[in-house]
């Protein structure tokens, strides 16, 4: 299930299940979006990206969906593994702001055995 | 693939002293580097953007005299936290961009503890 912690919402899933992590972005003019995975004490690691002229993109075990109408991104992880446990951030880029990355709040994914 | 090295990974300093954090792009030239700060259980907040050979651009609310950024070469940017105080304790992360709009690579972060 999903719960909201002090600052970071947490999603708990069983190993082998599919995970869906959601993100609401802020700028309707953003033209590029990236999902990052951050493990404890480390920097963000690129997972998958999508341009604003697309609504779906698939990678290995991951799929990103973009709904511009409601400014919503989702990251789907198939057959979630213990190694997927981390904090996941979406980030948006608007080239009108010198292409700076703006990060979302983040979601902690906990994979239970 | 692109690699960004950040050093040190952890540092403890006394209140009132300064500490320097280095960010190096190891196998590419980074025209732009970004510095972020991350508090526990929170997201990354952009502090400043630095372009090689020019002054850094700081985000609103970030004190440029306290957080000195130098981007002297295409492979090195440094962040110096001056006169550090306990409230500066945080996780600092750099990112380097490979010229194109979207090629961002992050360092592994520096945990700063001011005592």
- DSSP conformational letter for A25: -
The torsion angles phi and psi of A67, rounded to 5 degrees, stand at -120, 100
The number of C-beta contacts closer than 8 angstroms across A and B is 56
Minimum Cα–Cα distance from B108: chain A residue: A43
Residue with tokens 């009108």: A96
Amino acid A7: pLDDT: 66
Task: Give how far B83 is from chain A: nearest CA, Å.
Answer: 24
Tell me, yes or no, if B46 comes closer than 8 A to chain A by beta carbon: yes
Where are the alpha helices (H) located in A2-109, listed in sequence order? none
What are the chain B neighbours of A97 within 8 Å (beta carbons)? none
In angstroms, the Cα distances linking A100 to A60, B57, B61, B101 are 27, 11, 17, 9
Rg (CA), chain A: 14
Amino acid A98: pLDDT: 64
Residues in chain A: 113
Query: What are the residue ranges in chain B where pLDDT is below 50?
Result: none
* Cβ contact, residue pair A42, B49, below 8 Å: no
Average pLDDT for consecutive 10-residue bins of chain A (113 residues)? 59 97 93 95 95 96 97 97 97 79 94 93
Q: Which of residues 26-45 of B touch A (CB under 8 A)?
A: 34, 41-45
| Cα–Cα dist A53/A51, whole Å | 5
Closest partner CB to B104 (pick from A42, A89, A101): A101
Minimum Cα–Cα distance from A93: chain B residue: B102
Rg (CA), chain B: 13
In angstroms, the Cα distances linking B20 to A111, B8, B23, B110 are 37, 9, 10, 10
Task: Give how far B44 is from chain A: nearest CA, Å.
Answer: 6
């Amino acid at each position: 299930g999903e719960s909201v912690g002090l600052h970071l919402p947490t999603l708990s899933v069983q190993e082998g299940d599919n995970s869906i992590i959601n993100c609401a972005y802020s700028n309707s003019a953003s033209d590029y979006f990236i999902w990052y995975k951050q493990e404890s004490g480390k920097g963000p690691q690129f997972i998958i990206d999508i341009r604003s002229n697309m609504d779906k993109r698939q990678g290995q075990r991951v799929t990103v969906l973009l709904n511009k109408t409601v400014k919503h991104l989702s990251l789907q992880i198939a057959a979630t593994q213990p190694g997927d446990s981390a904090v996941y951030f979406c980030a948006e880029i608007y080239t009108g702001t010198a292409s700076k990355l703006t990060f979302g709040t983040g979601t902690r994914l906990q994979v239970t055995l | 693939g692109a690699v960004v090295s950040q050093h040190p990974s952890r540092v403890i300093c006394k209140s009132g002293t300064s500490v320097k954090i280095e960010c190096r792009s190891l196998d590419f030239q980074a025209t732009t580097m970004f510095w972020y700060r991350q508090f526990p259980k929170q997201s990354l907040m952009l502090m400043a953007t630095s372009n090689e050979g020019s002054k850094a651009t700081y985000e609103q609310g970030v004190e440029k005299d306290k957080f000195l950024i130098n981007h002297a070469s295409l492979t090195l940017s440094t962040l110096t936290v001056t006169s550090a105080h306990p409230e500066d304790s945080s996780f600092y992360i750099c990112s380097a961009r490979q010229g194109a709009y979207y090629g961002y690579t992050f360092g592994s972060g520096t945990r700063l503890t001011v005592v």
